[in-house]
């Protein structure tokens, strides 16, 4: 009994080994409110802005985004610190290096807390890709199974470099990384359109174009007894022997057990429907005795499918036997899908071997592609291991449509934002990115700001174009277009939200909730207004006589009006508008009790 109860209560999963002091020091568990400060001088292009670049800790950014973007993100693409133990993961201002006792649990806890919020942001057909290296791939897999139960799509493997032994212990060269993928039920990859070049209609078949396909499958006669049988061409009366190593693709009615069901048509029906391409090789042979047949097998002159080890060899005595191979006449109309699926294997562009024709395999640059691009765009190599643009662009091309929102909350140098802009330029799409990038400032380097100094610069140049110097000349790269707003996260202490919340922060949150976009700051006055005439969003920072008079003058049908004194505004605005309270509304959306 005790054993039974224990079994019921114990779940398969990860068990964290925790140091409470370490976790308490992590500000991300506080019950505070997070607001966004809009930084117009670091934003690019004209408002309303298409994309968002957010500077700050991603736990804060995610909590704020849950208020504005829950259920609306189609694709999350993240590349967290791999926790290699070599200065790539800072936690509470400390690098968690190889000798840190809680290295794996702290990393898992850090990722877990972020994934739990990220999950709420995904749309019903949303998908998440998480990049990872050898060190944590197995633990991360368990964690993702826990956060997204039953939603595993699978793992993609990409080749990062062409080979260099770097493992001192085992004489092994680690040349690949992983991308783990989980998705909600409505998600599928785009695949790519299959070529129909192999289909034509030379015989005027009324069923339309057809291709010459295999009639066999990769099972031997011992594995698939019901698909190993002689086939007769009823028009020529020539028999064809089955291949002992690759039996027929279709079962024979004659071999089925009573009541046995099969998924495909039986061979007899395929023959009746004239879907067999009988061999052009018209040579035949006839053995009148078993002895002659065995001799022909031994001296190699018999048709090659006749072997001493196959059953019922005596059947072939006295029959006219053909040498060629019957094939299958596959009509174009039989294709279940007109696309090829997306392959799990991502190959480097330098790979000489072509991918199989029936899948779409990404061909990407190695790790140096990202580093060279950053150097070209920002003039320095200070950002370690950015992802190759081709990799992220390829994944997003497979996973997103032209109107989707894409989130990267470990944005680093901004490769995901760049890839979104590049993809929009390629297919005239209107995808929007939300990239969160941290400053990476520490007590030792308090002024460091990766988001402002690398990510912002890179994304601005990607949007507007840039020049760079090669060995002997200057080169120009055209801008990809698009605009982004630069936001900073700001933590407001619990209990002080009402007093500390600035009008600009309220306005930013309201716009993101209602309109997705951010208007430029110039939209503000007595009434802060954004959106189209029939879907207006209005914020009243002050509810005084002048503001109420201004409100009266506007056509307000369908408008949503936010005010600190909603009752008063409601009396003046009439029934055609919806008046809502601040900050109660924001705090409720954020998950805090006002």
Ligand X SMILES: C[S@@+](CC[C@H](N)C(=O)[O-])C[C@H]1O[C@@H](n2cnc3c(N)ncnc32)[C@H](O)[C@@H]1O
Given the rule CB under 6 A, which residues bind ligand X? 57-58, 79-81, 370, 386-387, 410, 412-413, 415, 436, 438, 440, 450
CA-nearest of 337, 243, 322 to 277 is: 322
417 or 583: whose CB is closer to ligand X? 417
Least distance in Å: CB of 410 to ligand X?
4
360 or 451: whose CB is closer to ligand X? 451
16 or 95: whose CB is closer to ligand X? 95
351 or 440: whose CB is closer to ligand X? 440
Question: How far apart are the C-alpha atoms of 242 and 351, rounded to whole Å?
Answer: 38
Least distance in Å: CB of 386 to ligand X?
4
Which strands, in side-by-side order, build the sheet including 33-38?
33-38, 484-492, 51-55, 432-437, 405-408, 73-78, 122-132, 176-183, 152-159, 345-348, 363-364
47 or 370: whose CB is closer to ligand X? 370
80 or 541: whose CB is closer to ligand X? 80
CA distances (Å), 226 to each of 95, 129, 229, 272, in order?
63, 43, 7, 19
Least distance in Å: CB of 107 to ligand X?
10
Nearest residue to ligand X, by Cβ distance, number only: 412
Contact predicate 250/264, CB 8 Å: yes
Least distance in Å: CB of 109 to ligand X?
12
Question: How far apart are the C-alpha atoms of 135 and 463, rounded to whole Å?
Answer: 35
CA-nearest of 99, 92, 83, 108 to 16 is: 108
410 or 507: whose CB is closer to ligand X? 410
Least distance in Å: CB of 350 to ligand X?
20
Least distance in Å: CB of 345 to ligand X?
21
Least distance in Å: CB of 585 to ligand X?
27
User: At 4, phi and psi to the nearest 5?
Assistant: -60, -45
196: left (phi over 0), alpha (psi -120 to 50) or beta: alpha
How is residue 84 annotated by DSSP? -
Question: How far apart are the C-alpha atoms of 552 and 525, rounded to whole Å?
Answer: 15
CA distances (Å), 367 to each of 156, 440, 455, in order?
16, 22, 18
């Amino acid at each position: 009994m005790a054993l039974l109860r224990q079994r019921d209560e114990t779940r398969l999963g990860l068990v964290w080994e925790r140091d409470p002091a370490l976790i308490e020091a992590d500000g991300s568990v506080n019950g505070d409110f997070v607001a966004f400060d809009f930084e117009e001088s670091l934003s690019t292009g004209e408002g309303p802005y298409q994309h968002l670049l957010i500077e700050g800790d991603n736990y804060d950014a995610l909590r704020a985004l849950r208020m504005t973007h829950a259920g609306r993100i189609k694709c999350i693409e993240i590349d967290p610190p791999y926790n290699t133990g070599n200065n790539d993961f800072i936690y509470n201002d400390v690098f968690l290096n190889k000798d840190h006792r809680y290295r794996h649990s702290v990393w898992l806890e850090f990722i877990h807390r972020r994934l739990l919020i990220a999950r709420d942001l995904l749309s019903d057909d949303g998908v998440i890709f998480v990049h990872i290296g050898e060190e944590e791939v197995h633990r991360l897999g368990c964690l993702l199974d826990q956060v997204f139960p039953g939603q595993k799509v699978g793992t993609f493997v990409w080749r990062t470099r062409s080979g260099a032994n770097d493992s001192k212990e085992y004489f092994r060269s680690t040349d690949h990384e992983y991308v783990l993928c989980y998705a909600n039920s409505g998600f599928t990859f785009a695949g790519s359109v299959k070529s129909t070049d192999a289909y034509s209609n030379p015989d005027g078949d009324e069923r339309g174009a057809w291709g010459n396909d295999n009639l066999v499958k990769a099972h031997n006669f011992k594995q698939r007894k019901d698909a190993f049988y002689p086939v007769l061409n009823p028009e020529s009366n020539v028999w064809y022997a089955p291949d002992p190593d690759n039996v027929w693709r279709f079962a024979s009615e004659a071999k089925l057990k009573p009541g046995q069901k099969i998924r495909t048509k039986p061979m007899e029906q395929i023959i009746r429907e004239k879907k067999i391409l009988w061999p052009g090789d018209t040579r035949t042979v006839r053995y009148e005795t078993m002895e002659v047949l065995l001799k022909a097998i031994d001296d190699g002159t018999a048709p090659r499918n006749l072997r001493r080890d196959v059953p019922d060899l005596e059947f072939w005595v006295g029959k006219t036997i053909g040498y060629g191979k019957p094939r299958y006449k596959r009509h174009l109309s039989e294709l279940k899908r007109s696309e090829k699926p997306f392959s799990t294997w991502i190959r480097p562009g330098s790979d000489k071997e072509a991918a199989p024709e029936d899948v779409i395999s990404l061909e990407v640059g190695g790790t140096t592609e990202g580093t060279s691009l950053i150097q070209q765009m920002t003039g320095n190599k200070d950002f370690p291991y950015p992802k190759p643009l081709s990799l992220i662009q390829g994944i997003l091309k497979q996973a997103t449509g032209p109107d989707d929102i894409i989130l990267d909350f470990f944005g680093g140098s901004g490769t995901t934002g760049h890839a979104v802009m590049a993809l929009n330029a390629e297919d005239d799409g209107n995808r929007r990115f939300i990239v969160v990038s941290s400053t990476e400032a520490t007590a030792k380097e308090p002024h460091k700001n990766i988001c402002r100094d690398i990510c912002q610069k890179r994304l601005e140049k990607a949007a507007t174009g840039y020049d760079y110097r090669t060995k002997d000349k200057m080169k120009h790269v055209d801008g990809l277009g698009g605009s982004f707003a630069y936001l900073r996260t700001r933590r407001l202490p619990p209990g002080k939200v009402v007093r500390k919340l600035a009008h600009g922060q309220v306005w930013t949150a309201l716009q993101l909730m209602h309109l997705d976009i951010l208007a430029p700051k110039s939209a503000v006055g007595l009434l802060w207004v954004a959106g189209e005439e029939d879907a207006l969003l209005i914020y009243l920072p002050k509810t005084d006589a002048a503001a109420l008079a201004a409100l009266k003058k506007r056509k307000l049908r369908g408008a949503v009006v936010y005010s600190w004194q909603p009752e008063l505004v409601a009396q003046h605005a009439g029934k055609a508008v919806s008046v809502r309270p601040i900050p109660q509304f924001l705090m409720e959306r954020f998950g805090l009790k006002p």
